Amino acid sequence: MTAIPRISANVLRMRMMERARRERIPMHADIEIIATCNFKCVHCYIAPCAEREDVMSLEQAEIIFDKLQAAGTQSVLLTGGEVLTHKQFKEIYLSAKRHGFSIYVNTNAYLIGTRWADFFAEWPPRGMSISLYGMNPESYERLTGIPKSYERVMRAIDLLLERGLSFDLKCPAMTITAEELPAMQAFAKSKGVRFRTDFSIIPQEKGNTVPLQLQLAPQDVMVLENKLDPGFKSFRTYASPRVDGSTTDSVYKCGAGKTSLHINVHGGVSTCSTSRKVVGNLFEQTFEEIWAALGGKVAMKYPVGHPCATCQFSRICAGCPATVEQLTGLPTGYVQMYCKMTHQRAYELGYHATGVPRTVMEGIPAHVVTPTRAAARMLPVLG
Amino acid sequence: MTSNSVGAVQYRRLDNYVYRLTVGEHLLVALHARRDQPLYALTPTGAQLWERLAEWATVEELTDALVRDYEVSADDAKQDVRDFIDQLESLKAIEARGESV
């Protein structure tokens, strides 16, 4: 008997993830503990709709922790809004620790001074993700709407690094950030941390489509992807096992609703943070009821004739059921902008002869739902 | 067995780790550790010993518990317990009191 077998934490996590996939165990949960924020970002889909009362109390968080613990959840992401503006953040964080969860934290880092940095050094999260919004004070403040936000976030980054804490930096790729993204990537590299970006902008939670004005057009996405990942080298490695000629009519190909879930500030459960369509409420229903409802949702198939059902590039698609749901109202909708981005990627990688989706030539089947009129009005004009 | 031997070292777990049984794994989660190794997997017997270490216990008492619940010789069980205690001490997951006899 070896009571503590010598096994790395990563191997252990992979072993657990394999079993979680097989048995559909909710290994990870995003928990939105506050919807309000101290930034006023123009692209945000949560905070502009938030009211002062959109805050999860410690007692409510603990109800959720207890239910997740019983369901087998291993890690939680505490997210917002801005989590550090939550008056009970420390209590909620430490309660999650004592429940035995590995904890991830999303923050804009504006409030991280010496005291918060010391707190995280004493009680380190498994991971932290910091939003970065520019590489100089002017661009930063133009996006966040908050004076001194650049200086304060830069100082927070140094305070965390001085204490040996690890984190990612991330910034959405938008018309107003595109130019500075390569500099942000270089900055992250100089600090020895990972940089991530995402090309999908979605409407605000209550339907306002204004953020979609910031969506980059497919041709601009390609130019930017090539700058950030010259020759699509990293993406090529990612795509290689995923583009094998096979197709699937399953809508959800990720772990959403299978090994993970999202819980909003009122206990509403959805597949992930991008999807705002809740299937149940953890304050009113059992976890089992909600997990079953989520299972039904993520088991859905595309209707016959849907372009995505026969697409061999669906596993490297620029969109996902959640972003499509936000733009069309249904996870089974169809967004030609994503299709164009994806086929362009496939062309750049040598998987596709022209990079032009079939729907450009043949049209979109009439029974397939496309972006709502309000969303379509804001999205970039497609070439 | 020497369950209550005078002067025997007793051990008790510290509160800087949390035990969880999840996705079929008996996990010891470090509350203060950095990214490198905040998770440890215990064997089922290790998990049983960890539960027992909620209260002060000697190697002999832990050995008794194993012999009672598993088909294992006292000598083998005692060696396993000693190894486990060594591992937990290296993780700073337990405290000790008393002196070796």
pLDDT tens per residue, range A124-148: 999 999 999 999 999 999 999 999 9
In sequence order, what are the beta bridge partners of A168? A129, A194
How much is the average pLDDT of A146-165? 96
Cβ neighbors of A5 (< 8 A, separation 6 or more) are B41, B43
Task: Please determine, for residue B59, whether its predicted confidence score (pLDDT) is greater than 80.
Answer: yes
Q: How many CB pairs under 8 A join A and B?
A: 89
Q: What pLDDT is recorded for position B36? A: 57
Calculate the CA A187 to chain-centre distance: 22
Domain extent listing, chain B:
11-97
Whether residue B39 and residue A72 make contact (CB cut-off 8 A), yes or no, is no
pTM check: above 0.90? yes
> Who among B37, B46, B72 is closest to A3 (CB)?
B46
Q: What pLDDT is recorded for position A351? A: 95
In this prediction, the answer to ipTM > 0.85 reads no
Q: What pLDDT is recorded for position B38? A: 72
Task: Please determine, for residue A377, whether its predicted confidence score (pLDDT) is greater than 80.
Answer: yes
**Banded model confidence at residue A116, pLDDT cuts 50, 70, 90:** very high
Kindly list the distances between the CA atom of residue A258 and the CA atoms of A71, A96, A272, B90, in Å, as whole numbers in the listed order.
13, 22, 11, 37
Task: Please determine, for residue B4, whether its predicted confidence score (pLDDT) is greater than 50.
Answer: no
- What gap in Å lies between CA A290 and CA A296, rounded to an integer? 10
How much is the average pLDDT of A319-334? 95
Q: What pLDDT is recorded for position B1? A: 41
- List chain B residues with CB under 8 Å of A166: 34-35
pLDDT per position as a tens digit, A21-66: 999 999 999 999 999 999 998 888 887 777 778 999 999 999 999 9
Cβ neighbors of B22 (< 8 A, separation 6 or more) are A16, A69, A72, A73, A74, A100
The Cβ of residue A211 has, within 10 Å, a number of other Cβ atoms equal to: 20
Tokens of A110: 């504006």
Query: B94 in the Ramachandran plot: left (φ > 0), alpha (ψ -120 to 50) or beta?
Result: beta
Tokens of A319: 């969109």
Q: Which CATH number does the domain B11-97 belong to among 1.10.10, 3.30.470, 1.10.3470, 1.10.1060?
A: 1.10.10
- List chain A residues with CB under 8 Å of B39: 9, 12-13, 102
Burial class (CB in 10 A: 0-12, 13-18, 19+), A63: middle
Q: What pLDDT is recorded for position A206? A: 81
Asked whether A337 and A380 are in contact (CB, 8 A), the reply is yes
- What gap in Å lies between CA A17 and CA B56, rounded to an integer? 35
A312–chain B nearest CA distance, Å: 33
Q: What pLDDT is recorded for position A45? A: 83
Q: Pick the closest to residue A247 from A310, A338, A320 (CA basis).
A: A310
Asked whether B18 and A98 are in contact (CB, 8 A), the reply is yes
Q: What pLDDT is recorded for position B3? A: 43
Q: What pLDDT is recorded for position A5? A: 73
3-state DSSP: chain A helix, strand, coil percent, rounded to 5?
A: 45, 10, 45
The answer to whether the peptide bond before residue A245 is cis (omega within 30 degrees of 0) is: no
- What gap in Å lies between CA A304 and CA B30, rounded to an integer? 50
> CA-nearest residue of chain A to B46?
A3
Backbone angles phi, psi at B27, to 5 degrees: -105, 140
Q: What pLDDT is recorded for position B2? A: 42
Task: Please determine, for residue A6, whether its predicted confidence score (pLDDT) is greater than 90.
Answer: no
Min mean pLDDT across A53-57, B19-23, B34-38 is at B34-38
How much is the average pLDDT of A83-96? 98
A126–chain B nearest CA distance, Å: 6
Chain A: residues touching B (Cβ < 8 Å): 1-5, 7-9, 12-13, 15-16, 19-20, 25, 27, 69, 72-74, 97-102, 122-124, 126-127, 164-166
Q: What pLDDT is recorded for position A144? A: 93
- What gap in Å lies between CA B57 and CA B25, rounded to an integer? 24
Whether residue A102 and residue B23 make contact (CB cut-off 8 A), yes or no, is no
In sequence order, what are the beta bridge partners of A196? A170
**Banded model confidence at residue A289, pLDDT cuts 50, 70, 90:** very high
Tokens of A23: 């048995």
pLDDT per position as a tens digit, A235-275: 999 999 999 999 999 999 999 999 999 999 999 999 999 99
Whether residue B41 and residue A12 make contact (CB cut-off 8 A), yes or no, is yes
B7–chain A nearest CA distance, Å: 26
Task: Please determine, for residue A290, whether its predicted confidence score (pLDDT) is greater than 80.
Answer: yes
Under DSSP, is residue B93 helix (H, G, I), strand (E, B) or coil?
coil
**Banded model confidence at residue B35, pLDDT cuts 50, 70, 90:** low
B80–chain A nearest CA distance, Å: 6
How much is the average pLDDT of A84-103? 96
B94–chain A nearest CA distance, Å: 14
Task: Please determine, for residue A349, whether its predicted confidence score (pLDDT) is greater than 90.
Answer: yes
Q: What pLDDT is recorded for position A383? A: 56
Percent of chain A with pLDDT over 70: 99
Write down the mean pLDDT value for chain A: 94
- What gap in Å lies between CA A227 and CA B28, rounded to an integer? 43
Task: Please determine, for residue B39, whether its predicted confidence score (pLDDT) is greater than 60.
Answer: yes
Tokens of A86: 């939550």
